[in-house]
Chains A and B, each alone.
Chain A
């Protein structure tokens, strides 16, 4: 299998270390370099603004009791594509973020890869 995302640096914002470790494993298997993982919004914001290069991000919606949207705003401002991951259903996102690429927990490696590729506009191979 080819590795269309090889070499991409992907930010992870996720408060549960085990879930973050799973995402890192999945990203590493795809040839990506995980950035972070950030366990809270402040850390996520810092990485989202300062880390370079940054090609995409995986954002848990509810991070240690806070919502991840400030980090999403910062990424949007930089033009860095991102994918939300959430344990809430489809209705878990507020209206202004509806339609964003989203993966539902628990997720498969294929779901993570497809969502990232769609968000980054990388053609399926």
Chain B
């Protein structure tokens, strides 16, 4: 055991105990070279220290030339690597592994044996695996006895076993239970996952299992055991079958982001459009060959819709801003034509701009759903003294376009009244009466009547104000207006349909 003590750094007394143990042990480095083995191991494998120490385990023991040898080696290697990579003990309850010895004639003979092995990682202070300890028991006799017992129906061969093998069998049993619990937990997580999950197997993509979210996505159709092209026929031509085929053929995962999918979510219903983030992940068998596809993802329809809505809103906002700028540009150009004095131009332009701005404020307060007629009238006339203006009418809700138009129109009327009409005289008044006639469609009737002002003479030329009023009512509001310049006072009569904006 001195070799081991040197190579493995084990304390000498522990090394002695190791060597003296009746249980066969071999100590391996992490790259699976033999660091040491005890006498019991040498005995059971009929080998010597000289031919084993320092050599790769599977060079020293290769299970012979039999057809099953590579598989035997693979099983033992897999168990050792698992113990090494996980830092957890691993059990091989039963494994075939042939052992060689030299017969009397000097020939190498291989003998099939059955083993039960435990692979225990030995950790250093830092928790790193420095050695792997293999404890193996030759159970060839036991297997033979079990076979005999099974054949004769006598007794239980397990009764004949020593403690090490029983313990190992129990450990394996416990491991299986733990694995079963883990598996159940995984399935539970799978079924409860917030995203959709399904497993497809084989080149035809047969549904193995799917969770509740996936069932909801596809309208709770019975799909388990069906190939996808039959289970979800509406996907034909949408590209997804082809993606699955490619993932299966190439083993490369496929990812979709915000992918548009049309699905039959109710029987005989129309195809519904959903947007999905998803991944098709290949599942490989133990030989590394693609055996199925794991499908996982989320329905992002709401997010895609929100992004789309936001884009539309930005486009619409841009449209409105550009239109408003064009309107302001028009006001500026038209106002400039009726003012030669820059000072009066600035006053007139600003007043019109503020009238427009105020209606915007009213509309913003209602999130651009509309504004009340009285609120618009009050704002456009309040500067001229509320006691001189009489507003009579029930509340009338105006859509945004009508509100903007009428705001401009009342501004022009009030400005004209203050300059030339009733509000230019101390005693002058304005009576504004309105009502909504609702026969087949609601129509606003509004009268603006000026009283007690200076005698009225019809204008010799139509200014921007009166043109704006007439054009706006006819063009923007599809209504009618009559402007009358009676000597006793100016009158304007409006008829404006109120249901236009809803129908547009």
Q: Footprint of B on A, CB under 8 Å?
A: 15-22, 25, 37, 39, 62, 64-66, 86-89, 92, 104-107
Known A17-B472, A20-B471, A39-B475; judge A105-B331 contact (CB<8 A).
Answer: no
Size class of the B contact interface (CB-based, 8 Å): 20 to 34
Which of B33-41, B138-146, B322-330, B431-439 participates in binding chain A? B322-330
Q: In the complex, which of the residues B323, B329, B408 has the most CB atoms of chain A within 10 Å of its own CB atom?
A: B323
Known A87-B322, A88-B318, A89-B318; judge A19-B327 contact (CB<8 A).
Answer: yes
Query: What residues of chain A lie closer than 8 Å to B277, measured between beta carbons?
Result: none
Bound-state CA distance A50–B468 (Å) is 27
Bound-state CA distance A20–B472 (Å) is 10
A17 touches B468 (CB 8 A): yes
Q: In the complex, which of the residues A62, A64, A107 has the most CB atoms of chain B within 10 Å of its own CB atom?
A: A64
**CB of B75, distance to nearest CB on chain A (Å):** 64
A104 touches B322 (CB 8 A): yes
Known A87-B322, A88-B319; judge A18-B504 contact (CB<8 A).
Answer: no
B333 within 8 A of partner (CB): yes
B327 touches A87 (CB 8 A): no
Q: In the complex, which of the residues B319, B405, B474 has the most CB atoms of chain A within 10 Å of its own CB atom?
A: B319
**CB of B467, distance to nearest CB on chain A (Å):** 7
B174 within 8 A of partner (CB): no
A106 touches B322 (CB 8 A): yes
B333 touches A25 (CB 8 A): yes
B330 touches A19 (CB 8 A): yes
Query: What residues of chain A lie closer than 8 Å to B408, measured between beta carbons?
Result: 18
Tell me if A's interface is mostly helix, strand, loop or mixed: mixed
B476 touches A16 (CB 8 A): yes
Bound-state CA distance A42–B329 (Å) is 27
Query: What residues of chain B lie closer than 8 Å to A64, measured between beta carbons?
Result: 504
**CB of A30, distance to nearest CB on chain B (Å):** 14
B315 touches A16 (CB 8 A): no
A87 touches B323 (CB 8 A): yes
Query: What residues of chain A lie closer than 8 Å to B326, measured between beta carbons?
Result: 16, 18-19, 22, 87, 105-107
Query: What residues of chain A lie closer than 8 Å to B478, measured between beta carbons?
Result: 39
Known A22-B333, A65-B504, A106-B326; judge A17-B319 contact (CB<8 A).
Answer: no
Other-chain residue from B318, B321, B467 in contact with A21 (beta carbon distance below 8 A): B467
B320 within 8 A of partner (CB): yes
Bound-state CA distance A17–B474 (Å) is 9
**CB of A98, distance to nearest CB on chain B (Å):** 17
Query: What residues of chain B lie closer than 8 Å to A106, measured between beta carbons?
Result: 322, 325-326, 328-329
**CB of A9, distance to nearest CB on chain B (Å):** 19
Query: What residues of chain A lie closer than 8 Å to B471, measured between beta carbons?
Result: 17, 20-21
Bound-state CA distance A107–B333 (Å) is 12
Bound-state CA distance A65–B400 (Å) is 13
Other-chain residue from B322, B333, B468 in contact with A105 (beta carbon distance below 8 A): B322
Q: Footprint of A on B, CB under 8 Å?
A: 315, 318-323, 325-331, 333-334, 337, 405, 408, 467-468, 471-472, 474-476, 478, 504
**CB of A18, distance to nearest CB on chain B (Å):** 4
A-B contact pairs, 12 of them (CB 8 A): A17-B474, A17-B476, A18-B468, A18-B472, A21-B467, A22-B330, A39-B475, A39-B476, A92-B319, A105-B325, A106-B322, A107-B329
Bound-state CA distance A89–B322 (Å) is 10
Nearest neighbor of B408 in chain A, beta-carbon distance: A18
Query: What residues of chain B lie closer than 8 Å to A104, measured between beta carbons?
Result: 322
Bound-state CA distance A105–B334 (Å) is 17
Query: What residues of chain A lie closer than 8 Å to B405, measured between beta carbons?
Result: 17
**CB of A39, distance to nearest CB on chain B (Å):** 5
B318 touches A37 (CB 8 A): no
Nearest neighbor of A38 in chain B, beta-carbon distance: B475
Q: What are the nearest 8 A-B pairs in CB distance?
A: A87-B322, A22-B330, A65-B504, A17-B475, A105-B326, A18-B330, A87-B319, A106-B329
Known A17-B476, A22-B326; judge A88-B334 contact (CB<8 A).
Answer: no
B321 touches A18 (CB 8 A): no
B329 touches A22 (CB 8 A): yes
Query: What residues of chain A lie closer than 8 Å to B334, measured between beta carbons?
Result: 18, 21-22, 25
Query: What residues of chain B lie closer than 8 Å to A87, measured between beta carbons?
Result: 318-323, 326
Bound-state CA distance A44–B330 (Å) is 21
Q: In the complex, which of the residues A21, A86, A92 has the most CB atoms of chain B within 10 Å of its own CB atom?
A: A21
Bound-state CA distance A104–B318 (Å) is 12
**CB of B121, distance to nearest CB on chain A (Å):** 64
Bound-state CA distance A37–B328 (Å) is 19
**CB of A108, distance to nearest CB on chain B (Å):** 9
* Besides A104-B322, A107-B329, 12 new A-B residue pairs in contact (Cβ under 8 A), listed by A number: A17-B474, A18-B331, A18-B334, A18-B472, A19-B323, A21-B467, A22-B326, A39-B474, A86-B322, A105-B322, A106-B325, A106-B328
Query: What residues of chain B lie closer than 8 Å to A15, measured between beta carbons?
Result: 475-476
Nearest neighbor of A89 in chain B, beta-carbon distance: B318
Query: What residues of chain A lie closer than 8 Å to B504, measured between beta carbons?
Result: 64-66
B319 touches A62 (CB 8 A): yes
Nearest neighbor of B356 in chain A, beta-carbon distance: A18
Q: In the complex, which of the residues A15, A18, A37, A105 has the most CB atoms of chain B within 10 Å of its own CB atom?
A: A18
Nearest neighbor of A60 in chain B, beta-carbon distance: B323
Bound-state CA distance A122–B334 (Å) is 28
Query: What residues of chain A lie closer than 8 Å to B329, measured between beta carbons?
Result: 22, 106-107
Bound-state CA distance A62–B331 (Å) is 21
B475 touches A37 (CB 8 A): yes
Bound-state CA distance A15–B320 (Å) is 13
Known A25-B333, A39-B475, A39-B478; judge A18-B319 contact (CB<8 A).
Answer: no
